[in-house]
Amino acid sequence: MSECRPLGPVTETFEESQPARMREALSMSRIVVKHYPAEIIDGWMLSLGSIALIAATIVGASIAVAQDTEGIPPAEAEETVSLDDLFQVESSMSGEESKDGFLDSFGDNLRLNFDFITRVELTSKRGEAAFVNAIGLDIHKVFSDSEGDIGTLLMQPYIVRRDNQYSRLYKINNDDAFIIELHDFYFNLTRYGRGQTNFKIGHFDVPFGLEPNVDTHFTLRQLIPLHDAGFKKDWGISLNGTPPDFDYEISLTSGTGPDWNQHGHDTYLAAGRIGTPANENFVFGVSALYGEVHDRHGTHRVDEAPPVGYIDREIEEWVRRWRIGGDATWILEQFTVRSEISGGEDFDQDVANILGELMWTTPDEDFSAYIQGLYLGQDGFLGWTEDIRSRLGMIWKFNETMSVSAQWTHEFEAYINTERGPHSHEDTYSFQFRMRF
């Protein structure tokens, strides 16, 4: 029986400590805030109160069930069972339990985590705070039989509420409401390729750049996939593997990102990355993608004049794009250096993206600090526009369950035309508490 093992090398700390390809996350938007303590406190309490209500309901139900069993004689009381007992698959063969078959036990090689996140973002321009609260599950199961591993199932369903959250261009549609989000949600068949040729189906990271090998799932620290594919994850299929000398993944996905809705256009995305093994101290990879994808930010930046032609942003919101890129990661004892560069076109308009990051981690991996520099340029409908910013952040792990993180984002240059008018430079201050058990 194979042990449950991570999908990739673990080179990150706490929020980043999950297996390499178990992330997602959410890319947080720019929110502008002035100092109105009453509004901030009200919004914070409303969001936390809603999440607390869900948790209280679950705990209350558990207590009620426990009370119902009081006073029942031991012989009549329901027997306590473990997770392995609950999912044990049994068969009788000469009075003995079979160890063969498709499953030995669902509880074997199963990792189940509960995840609670609460976040507040303040900015220097807008008059209210933004809040993100989420509670979810992280289910990682390796299916095996007597011949070895069959495949890996990864499911990350979350209930998320956002209050007063804006992106650079518009207010997020699901603001002030509870929604269900599926982050990583796939099965990777590994039986027949023995790790060198695997087949993946579901919702997973687009194989481009640093993102597939860095855990940014519900972390403040993010990379630049929104300016390449247009989203982190997409629905589709992929071939992937880790031969002795390199890693690779090639995918064909829907081009819709987190949603399956194609918004009136037949979107699609083909992408691929090949690189040196991700468990080495120096990793280098090259990537490419091509497709027609749903990307509301991208359609805003695309020129509406010929030769691109008219695009109705509110109805279709799709972009034809291609990218090529390279990424590198270098681990030097307590320091990690990452870089990524990509270029291509959205329709016929040139695009260039650059990211650099330096991270320092204590020897016990309880604390990390990082600094990032980003350059995002595009020949859009205002001519060549640039988004230049820096991020300074920290992650502090109290124990194996709780952590806090903070990040300051400073804009040097920004895309200046939005649906709310000219966009001036702003600073964003983000704080997050996370409990995972």
Query: In tens digits, what is the pLDDT along the chain, a chain of 437 residues?
Result: 444 444 443 344 434 444 443 343 333 333 333 344 444 445 444 444 544 444 444 444 444 444 444 444 443 434 444 444 444 434 334 344 444 444 456 778 899 999 999 999 998 877 788 899 999 999 999 999 888 899 999 999 999 998 887 665 545 555 567 899 999 999 999 998 877 999 999 999 999 999 999 999 999 999 998 889 999 999 999 999 999 999 999 999 999 998 777 666 789 999 999 999 999 999 999 999 999 998 877 766 665 444 344 445 445 678 999 999 999 999 999 999 999 999 999 988 899 999 999 999 999 999 999 999 999 998 876 678 888 999 999 999 999 999 999 999 999 987 654 444 455 678 999 999 999 99
Nearest to 24 by CA among 191, 186, 192, 193: 186
Dist. CA 432–CA 117, nearest whole Å: 7
What's the CA angle centered on 359, arms 338 and 355, to 5 degrees? 35
Comparing CA positions, the residue from 367, 433, 364 lying closest to residue 396 is 367
Question: CA 117: distance to chain centroid?
Answer: 13
Burial of residue 241 (number of CB atoms within 10 Å: 0-12, 13-18, 19+): middle
Determine whether 223 is exposed, middle or buried from the number of CB atoms within 10 Å of its CB (0-12, 13-18, 19+).
buried
Under a CB-based contact definition with an 8 Å cutoff, are residues 216 and 199 in contact?
no
Distance CA 107, CA 382 (A): 57
Contact in structure between 325 and 287 (CB atoms under 8 Å): yes
Q: What is the C-alpha separation between 17 and 138, in angstroms, rounded?
A: 13
Which DSSP letter does residue 381 get? Answer: B
Helix H or strand E encompassing 59: helix 37-68
| Beta-carbon-side half-sphere exposure of residue 311 (alpha carbons within 13 Å) | 27
Look up the CATH number of domain 14-436: 2.40.160.10
C-alpha distances (whole Å) from 427 to each of 32, 260, 269 are 8, 34, 34
DSSP H helices in 248-333: 296-301
Beta-ladder partners of 134: 117, 160
119 and 393 Cβ atoms separated by less than 8 Å: no
DSSP conformation letters of 138-175: EEEEEEEETTEEEEEEEEEEEEEEEES-B-SSSB-TTB
Helix (H), strand (E) at residue 282? strand 282-294
Region of residue 144 (left: phi > 0; alpha: psi -120 to 50; beta: else): beta
Q: CA distances (Å), 62 to each of 73, 87, 173, 210, 428, in order?
A: 20, 20, 35, 42, 40
Q: Can you tell me the distance from the alpha carbon of 231 to that of 26, in angstroms, rounded to the nearest whole number?
A: 9
Please give the structure tokens belonging to residue 117: 């996140």
